[in-house]
Amino acid sequence: MIQVPVPSFQLVSMENVGEQVVCLIAYHLLFAMFVWSYWKTIFTLPMNPSKEFHLSYAEKELLEREPRGEAHQEVLRRAAKDLPIYTRTMSGAIRYCDRCQLIKPDRCHHCSVCDKCILKMDHHCPWVNNCVGFSNYKFFLLFLAYSLLYCLFIAATDLQYFIKFWTNGLPDTQAKFHIMFLFFAAAMFSVSLSSLFGYHCWLVSKNKSTLEAFRSPVFRHGTDKNGFSLGFSKNMRQVFGDEKKYWLLPVFSSLGDGCSFPTCLVNQDPEQPSTPAGMNSTLKTPENHQFPAKPLRESQSHLLTDSQSWTENSANPGKGKAGMSNPALTMENET
């Protein structure tokens, strides 16, 4: 009778039970947050401009009859006179999308892949097969953060065995190849993710999108690369919300509706609606910057006031709670 030799495998594992428990909990926690944020980034639909930015049937007909030029722009100026927009094209014209037939809100751009206008569009990401914009930018940031922590954790826990591999301190088993491959894969992903995550952290601190970093927004007074920046703290709150308990969770808590944003403009656009009677034309922050008080929506205007106003606004039961609101419902209620 022929006996086939059975190879013996020696497991390479941690010996301390407490260390095993801590590593298992940390691994599954990071993995769960990584998958949750990745899922939200993929399946959260990008938000589109509300109905008020779409031209009426009569305006569309009038626009089609007018040739390109001053008459064409005059039609758009009349249609946009009551809209909360401050940005213009490079030539100073109203930003209009021929494909969607709408006046573009500030920071809105047309995605050629999705073939629609996306609110506060950052970029179209092939890794998530979705546009990254106002509705899912926070989820995208958390996806980068948790994927980076996940890869760093794997590389850190595998490092000691990787060193033993090169010093011939591991038993001669098939696990040697897996240890080497796992370390190199985790280390390479950590390097690429750290640079991408660091870049987007810088964008958040400056209140810029990827598109705005490459081409600064144009206002009536000219190009201003920091036109939407309100300071580090307020820039963070605009993306992550006022309630810090939601910051690390992939639930929607961003401020605003995506159609209008506070700006640090000093010269108010004369074509925009004026402030209602009884109110000052501008608001001032502790940094002595002047900001237009209107036509910002209520959900954004509190960013321009002091912390006491934030508390009063958050205490208003009609505003809803951060992290519990649906951006699509918010837009639907405001149109």
Which positions are annotated as active-site residues?
A: 125
Query: Phi/psi of residue 291, each to 5°?
Result: -130, 145
Round to whole Å and give the CA distance between 35 and 313. 34
**Contact, 53 vs 102, CB < 8 A?**
yes
Contacts of 314 (CB under 8 A, 6+ apart): 242, 243
> CA torsion sign, 262 to 263 to 269 to 275?
positive
Round to whole Å and give the CA distance between 87 and 266. 14
Closest to 290 measured CA to CA, from 208, 218, 221, 216: 221
Which parts of 162-227 are beta strand (E)?
218-219, 222-223
CB-count burial class (<10 Å; 0-12, 13-18, 19+) for 108: buried
Q: What does each C-alpha distance from 262 to 63, 155, 289 come to in angstroms? A: 30, 42, 12
Q: Which residues of 195-222 are buried (b: 16+ CB within 10 A; e: fewer)?
A: eebeebeebbeebbbeebeeeebbbeee
Residue with tokens 């691994």: 27
Contacts of 18 (CB under 8 A, 6+ apart): none
